[in-house]
Structure 1
Amino acid sequence: MSKDEVFNQIADIIAERFEIDRETIKPELNFKTDLDADSIDFVEFILELEDTFNAEISDEDAENLNTVGEAVDYIMSHSKS
């Protein structure tokens, strides 16, 4: 799976979960400041990423994922599929 494909899938998840316009999602979008995601929203988002990409994201790693770009890079290096 290419980096663009991963980004597009993550952007689709974000658009649906956080009810924002898909076109506004860029790699530098910050989960906590731009999406105003609380901890429950973020945990649910991480779980959805794990399911979608067949990846395990530790709590420690999840805490370090701040932007969409960081999530894409993490999935690219940790996905099992």
Structure 2
Amino acid sequence: MNRDRILEELRTILHDTFEIDPAEVTPEANLFTDLELDSIDAVDLAIRLQKLTGKRIKPDEFKTVRTVGDVIKSVQTLLAE
């Protein structure tokens, strides 16, 4: 799955789960300040990403995620394992 495809999947997940406008979901967008997610939302997002990738996301790795671009990198790393 390439970077653009992951971004599209994230736009769908964030829209369907948190009602975030897909146009706001850019690689530079901060999950917490720009998209207004909280820590519980981040856990929900991690669960959805696990379903998308079929792989478990390590909590320590996901704690460093701040932007949509960080999420894309994390998903790429998971898929490469």
TM bucket by the smaller chain?
0.7 to 0.9
Q: Give the TM-score normalised by the residue count of structure 2.
A: 0.88
Q: Give the TM-score normalised by the residue count of structure 1.
A: 0.88
Give the corresponding residue for 2:65: 65
Q: Give the deviation of 1:55 after TM superposition.
A: 2.4
Structure 2: segments with no counterpart, 5+ residues: none
1:6-41 Cα distance to aligned partner (Å, 9 max, x none)? 111011111222212112210011111112212111
1:12 partnered with 2:12: yes
Structure 1 stretches of 4+ with a deviation exceeding 3 A read none
Aligned residues: 81
Give the corresponding residue for 1:40: 40
AA matched with 1:43? V
Structure 1 distance, partners of 2:4, 2:16, is 18
